[in-house]
Structure formats: C-alpha cells, structure tokens
Structure 1
Amino acid sequence: MSLIVQKYGGTSVGTIERIQAVARRILATCRAGHQVVVVVSAMGKSTDMLVDMAKQVIDHPSPREMDMLLTTGEQVSTALVTMALHAQGWDAVSMTGWQAGISTEEVHTKARITEIDPAPIQQALGQGKVVIVAGFQGISESGQITTLGRGGSDTTAVALAAVLKADRCEIYTDVDGVYTADPRIVSSARKLARISYDEMLELATLGAGVLHPRAVECAKQHQVCLTVRSSFSEEEGTIIEEEADMEQGLVISGVAYDKNVAKITVVDMPAKVDTLSNLFAVLAAEHVNVDIIVQSSYEAETTNVSFSVSGDEVKKTLDVLHKQRDTLQFGYVVAEKELAKVSIVGAGMITNPGVAARMFTCLAEAGVEVKMVSTSEIKVSCVVPLEDMEKAVCNLHTVFGLDTKEKAVVY
C-alpha cells in the first residue's frame, strides 16, 4: 500500500463546500488503495484577517503572540476537513503541528523544522485513519508554539513526505500546475509538464507563488516526488524532479516577479577592505535579508553600496543603519521604494549564450529602466520600477517564446 501526502492551500479549503470537495478527493485517493496524510492551510484569507485583527489591537504585536494567534487558522481547517471525512463515513483524525511530532527552532514567525517524530502519524495510519495535519506550525524544544512563515504549509507537507518516505507529495492549489508566468498577468502562459528542482527553486525564490522555496529545497534534498495540481479540476499537474528536459527547446522555463522590493543605498562609506563585511554583518545580526548588492566607488577614499530588501523591511533596515552610523562611518542613506524584481529562469541559459543580452534589449525596447541586476547560472534578475513590472513580464514572456494560444486557467 502506497503512502501519499496531499497539501491543500487556503483557496482549496476556503468554504464549507470546498472543504467537502476536498474530503471527496481524499476519499477517492483512499479508495484507490492508498494511505493518505493531508496538510491544510488556513481557510481563504483568514490568516490576513487574523493579522489585521492583531494590528487593530496593537501596532507591533509580540512575535510569540502572533504565532499563538495565527496557528489557530490551520487548526480550524484540520478540524473541519476531518469532520467532512467523518460525515462521508471515513475514519480520520486531526493533529496540530506539535501533535504530529513537528519540532522547530525557537524562532517565532519564521522557524525552521529541526526534526519530525513520525510515530504519532504512523500509529494513526496503522489504525486505518486518514491523518489531517495543520500546516505552517510546530513546537520548539522549550514548548513554544512556532510558525514557519507564510507559505510554510508547503514545507510541512514536503517534510512529512520525506520523513514518512511517502511515494509522492501532491500540492493542491488554484492553478493546474506550474506556469511559465503568473497566469493572472500573462493569460498566454503555458503550463509546464515537468520542471527541475533547481529551476523551481529559483522561480519560487524569485516570487512565483505556486510553491514555497523551502518546500522545494526540502524536496530536492530528500528527493521527494513532488507534483503541483489544482484542487478544482482533474487535470494533470506539473512534476518537479531532479532533471527536466527543456520543453520544446525552450531556453527559459519561466518569468517570475516580486512586486515588494526596495533599494537602499549607503553613501560615502570608507573604501576599506572590511567595509562590506562590517555593513552586512550589522544587517545580518538584526535578521535583515539582503538580496542584490552593488558597490560603486566615486572617490579613492569612499564608496557607495546599494542593496535590495523586501519593501516590508525598509523601516527596520534604516533604523539599524542609523543606529550603527558611527560604527559604519557612512555619510547618509537613500531608500527607493515602489520597485519590483523581474526574473527569467531556465537551465537552458547554461548552454545558450546571449540570454542576458536579449533580456536587456527587450526591457530597453519596452522603455523599462533597469536599476539593479543579479545573475546566476540559470537566472537573470532585474530591479525595475513597479509601474513597469507587468509590461516587463509580458514582453519577456513573448520575447523568449513562452506564449501559447491557449488561455491559462485560474480557478
């Protein structure tokens, strides 16, 4: 008997009717002779609602109390899905993250899973039950409830699939699979039948919301057979695997975007050998995540350093820099908001020269200003004005031959 882990996102369990439909899909998998472990997210926009409620109470809620609050969203979903299975005559049991044996670091709001004790789930499976696990959460060594960060239910599902040695892990969402671009922006985006772990990891990291980056990283590390498909149709999804052939000779597998980017420039820093290490050590100590970095020198004794951060972290970044101004000895700081990052990803870049040149030419012809650039073997990213993001994505999608005549499906 094979074991399948299924994960259902917030849209898939957004209403009672959808929860009942999810229960029917789970039962169909059981009746096909499989054991099933299910991971669920909070219903619809309930997490956003909880965040808004917290902010109405206090401007800066305690991270610990936010974890206590937000984990309730997934617990509602687990109980309701379990009840829906009971109503259809199937034995099932719901579990919180900690009841399912998921241990994490003691870091609130963005903890990482440290280990999973599979015994509670295996015991329930041995009793013939479907196990419904609350995603996105776990418990620290000292007994603190923690969350894995937004999108963490994907990571929960893949981690459980790895430790339980599941035959496959199915991620159910509101699209039929992984597309070459966000089908909400590019209606001519094509669905990929297969994509490599590395390409999917780049797309997820660069803003493609269909999978959480840590979930892809975990799947690659443990060689979990991973599929993305829709909970609203019976269409075949996208398989994420170690290596995937370029579809129809495509050099680029997809175009991704992140519309929440800011550029920070630290002006007139001492041009010393330890300038960069000092600057980014200060930011790292305060858990500021830095992405693209550009250094430029205008005078022999000073240098300017620019880097991108999430738009949500601008205030925190500026506060850290101003507190450390005497230590870092810079002149002043400039913050530029309302930016986006647009990226092309594809394993074909390794063997096809001139991809970056085509990208820059495309953006120039579209009148899109490029403010920062970052590259790797299989991706090129550009920071552009937010108002030009959609134009950039659509033009790049066309230039690299990703358009299809069929309209992408979004449920």
Structure 2
Amino acid sequence: MNATILKFGGSSFLHPKDYGRIAGHLADRLAAGEHKIVAVVSAMSGTTCNLKAVMLDVNKQASPSNLDGALATGEMLSASLLEAAISRLGIPAISLNGYSLGIRTNSDFGRASIKSVDPTPILAALQEHHVVVAAGAQAIDQSGRLTFLGRNSSDLSAIAIASMLGEHTCEIYSDVPGVYTADPYLVAGAQLIPEISYRAMLQMSRHGAKVLHHRAVHYAETHNVTIVCKSLTSDGVITGTIVTGHGNARSVTVAREIPVFSCATLEECDNLCALLARHDINAIRVEDGHGVVICIVSDIDFALRLVALSDTVPVFIGSKNVVTELDSSVLRVHVVGDYDRAIALARQIHERMYPAAVGAPSR
C-alpha cells in the first residue's frame, strides 16, 4: 500500500483554526491523486511546557512514567483535533495514539528509544480510512505502558512510520521551509541549504539547530528514508531542503540556556560523557575558566536525570549559551553567558562564512 507520510510540528498549530488549514491541505493532496496519507502531529505550540508545569505543580516528584503519560496527551489532543477537522470535510479519517501505532520502546521514560515496529495497526487503519492521523513522540514499552520519545521528537515518529510502511520519503513541515546556514530568525542573510547529508544534518541538530530532531535524522539514515523539509504558507507549499546521503554547508548554531557542569577530574568528565553517549545524548566538552566543562545540548530533562543517578557528581555551574561553528573540517564551540552576546557572535561568524550574504533577506 502506497502512503504519503507527513509530519506537522507545533508551529503548524498556533491556533485551533490551523487544524482546518492543515485538513484543507490534506484534502487537496487527496484530490490531486494521492491515495492514502499518514499525518503525524505534534502538540499545539506551548502545550508540552504547560502540561509539564501543571504536573510539577501537583507533584514536584512525579515519576518519569507519570510525566510521560501526561506529556503525551498534548499530541493526543492535537491528533484528535486534526481528525475532527478532516472528518468535517467528509474525508474518512482516524487518529491513533501511542497505544495503537505499533511502535515499541524500552522503558527509559522521558526519552524512550525505539526497539521494534509493527506496521499492522496503521495498515489496518489505512484500509478503512483515507487519512490516518498519528500522535507523535509516543509509543509503548514491552509492558504496554505509554512512553514519551522526548521533546520535539514527533520527527522521529514520522520517520519510523515511513520506514515501517516501506516508504522512502517523509515530509516534515515547520515554520521555516528548510535547513539554513543559521537560524533565519536570528541571523540576517542566513542561506537556505537545498540539499544536505544525514551526517552534516546530524551535526547541526546535535549542536542546537531546531529544524530536525537528531534521533530522527539518525533513524532516517539507518533506514534509508529521505527527509523533505517543507513549509505550508498562505501561498502554498514551499520545499526547502532535502536530507539525503549528499551535500554539506558551513553553518553556525546557537543553543540557548543549556546546563553546564564541571567535573573534579578529567576521568570524571570522561565517565560522564561516556554515560551520556551510551544514551545518545550530545555532551560537548569545552575548556573555559572552570577548566574542562560539559555542556548538555540535547534531551536535557532526560540527561539531567541520568547525571543525578550517575556515580560521577559534577558541579552545576549554570545555564549558558553555546555557539558552534560547523564546517566539513572544523568544529569550534563557544560558551557564552549572555544570550544577546551569543547572537552577536553567531552573526559575526556567519558574516565571516558568507560575506556576500550580509543584509540579504533570510527567507
């Protein structure tokens, strides 16, 4: 069965009316001849943070599994709303959540890892409906408990579903049409990258680029799924970047307010970095006034829990901003305390990389 796999991020759902806009786009795709569609959705913008705040207000020591159950409801609501908007157009649609997607994970609550997939539930739903709306960022563990794949991980859900259905392309929709040489909202003249390799994209994602989740990029490379980054605007669809096996570009990323730790010895630094690496968490080692420090850029909540449970007892020295220069042969990391200074540094680096682009429109 041929199916088109699309993912819509939280920026696609700023207001309830946006579900009707997305439904209209799916209807247009079906009218143009596409047979079946799986639409993977994130929670409405801001919902996950609100849910977490409410949970911790009720119980600051809420268990990780309890938090997973609460946070996953944001994507469940989003999936139900999009199903309602599609059904209103007379199109047969159904929404599925983590209990019925056929994705099994380990029991690392807060940032579970996919262990197996079964396409049967989604294929059965596609037999009866033109559109299946899948709640992103969630699955179940081997005991049938709901697990959360991590913040901003609906990308991973979409790539996994594309792979399990035998599709080799997945469309990712966000508020920017693709991958840029810098954040276009921060750096004037940021250049759209038409094509980029999985490896180069993985480096950018691991160092703070927000367009794609780093575990989704890794899964796509492993399972040979091409990622097509798009944006749905009032003028139609804009295709910006294709992530595949080829392409590279110099870039600069900014990771805001990330936790920074110092360790008593280099051996403790090595042990902590090894622990985080085993869980596919990017920890950057940088030398500064505190000696060698470790900056945790990705999956921060889950990483902090690992740090708290580890034999190593690092010292938290505050939240900092990390600016990273990425080139095919160079990776330079700058730890900056003030966010405005971090942005200014990123602009200076980008101007050095792309002098002809200064002052050019970013999009």
Deviations 1:148-191 (A, max 9, x none): 00011000000111111124210011112111111111132121
The offset of 1:31, in angstroms, is 1.9
Matches of 2:274 and 2:135 in 1, distance apart?
Answer: 36
Aligned partner of 1:226 in structure 2 is 227
Cα distance in 2 for residues equivalent to 1:65 and 1:234: 38
What's 1:364 paired with?
Answer: none
Q: Secondary structure at the match of 1:264?
A: strand
Aligned to 2:252: 255
Give the CA deviation at 1:261: 3.2
Q: Which amino acid aligns with 1:221?
A: T
For 2:229 and 2:71, how far apart are their aligned partners in 1?
25
| 1:109-124 mapped onto 2 (5 Å cutoff) | 109-124=110-125
* 1:163-174 mapped onto 2 (5 Å cutoff): 163-174=164-175
Residue 352 of structure 1 aligns with which residue?
A: none
Is this contact kept in 2: 1:176–1:237, CA < 8 A?
yes
Alpha-carbon deviation of 1:386? 3.4
Secondary structure of 2:11's counterpart equals coil
Partner SS for 1:292: strand
Q: Deviations over 1:127-161 (max 9, x none)?
A: 34211110000011111110000011000000111
Does the 8 Å contact 1:2/1:167 carry over to 2?
no
- Determine whether 1:308 maps to 2:295: yes
Q: Answer whether contact 1:42 1:75 (CA < 8 A) is retained.
A: yes
CA contact (8 A) 2:268 2:312 kept: no
What amino acid is the match of 2:214?
Answer: P
Task: Choose which of 216, 234, 239 in structure 2 pairs with 1:236.
Answer: 239
Would you say 1:19 and 2:16 are equivalent positions?
no
CA distance, structure 2, for counterparts of residue 204 and residue 47 of structure 1 = 20
Q: CA–CA distance in 1 between the matches of 2:95 and 2:199?
A: 33
Q: Does 1:265 find its partner at 2:252? A: no
Q: Secondary structure at the match of 2:142?
A: coil
Check conservation: 1:67, 1:109, Cα contact below 8 A.
yes
Corresponding residue for 1:382?
A: 334
Residue 155 of structure 1 pairs with residue 152 of structure 2: no
After TM superposition, the score normalised by the length of structure 1 is 0.78
Matched residue, 1:53: 54
- 1:262 and 1:314 in contact (8 A); partners too: no
Partner of 1:397: 350
Q: How far, CA to CA, are the matches of 1:190 and 1:286 in structure 2?
A: 34
> What is the SS of the residue equivalent to 1:216?
helix
Separation in 2, partners of 1:145, 1:79: 17
Which amino acid is the alignment partner of residue 250 of structure 2?
A: S
TM-score, normalization by structure 2: 0.87
Report the CA distance shift for 1:239/1:291 in structure 2 as closer, same or farther (over 3 A): same
Distance across 2 between alignment mates of 1:211 and 1:341:
18
Q: CA deviation at 1:219?
A: 0.9
Q: Match of 1:291?
A: 283
When structure 1 is superposed on structure 2, of 56-65 and 15-24 the one drifting more is 56-65
Cα 1:307–1:13 shift into 2, 3 Å: closer
Structural mapping, 1:188-199, within 5 Å: 188-199=189-200
- CA 1:66–1:286 in structure 2 vs 1: closer, same or farther (change >3 Å)? farther
Cα 1:318–1:24 shift into 2, 3 Å: closer
Counterpart-to-counterpart distance in 1, 2:68 and 2:142: 16
CA distance in 1, matches of 2:282, 2:2: 42
Q: Map Cα deviations across residues 76-106 of structure 1 (whole Å, 9 max, x no partner).
A: 1111111111111111111012212111111
Q: Is the 8 A contact 2:206 2:282 kept in 1?
A: no
Cα deviation, residue 21, structure 1: 0.6
Match for 1:307: what amino acid?
I
Contact 1:186 1:394 in 2 (8 A): yes
Q: How far apart are the structure 2 equivalents of 1:106 and 1:79? A: 26
Deviation at 1:318, TM superposition (A): 8.1
Q: What is the alpha-carbon distance in structure 1 between the residues aligned to residue 347 and residue 333 of structure 2?
A: 15
Distance 1:189 1:212 in 2: 20
Q: Which runs of 5+ in 1 are unaligned?
A: 247-251, 297-303, 326-332, 350-355, 357-378
Distance verdict in 2 for CA 1:161–1:404, change over 3 Å: farther
Kept in 1, the 8 Å contact 2:9–2:41? The answer is: yes
RMSD between superposed Cα atoms in Å: 3.0
Between the aligned partners of 1:127 and 1:288, the Cα distance in structure 2 is 38
Task: Report the counterpart of residue 132 of structure 2 in structure 1.
Answer: 131
Shift of 1:7: 0.4
Partner Cα separation in structure 2 for residue 167 and residue 283 of structure 1: 33
CA distance in 2, matches of 1:175, 1:285: 30
2-side partners of 1:38 and 1:380: how far apart?
38
**Which residue of structure 1 aligns with residue 3 of structure 2?**
3
Partner of 1:360: none
- Aligned residue for 2:334, secondary structure, equals strand
Give the direction of change, closer, same or farther, for the CA distance of 1:164–1:282 in structure 2 (3 Å limit). Answer: closer
With over 3 angstroms needed to count, the CA separation of the structure-2 counterparts of 1:261 and 1:163, relative to structure 1, is same
CA 1:107–1:55 in structure 2 vs 1: closer, same or farther (change >3 Å)? same
Identity in percent = 31
Structure 2, unaligned stretches of length 5 or more?
Answer: none
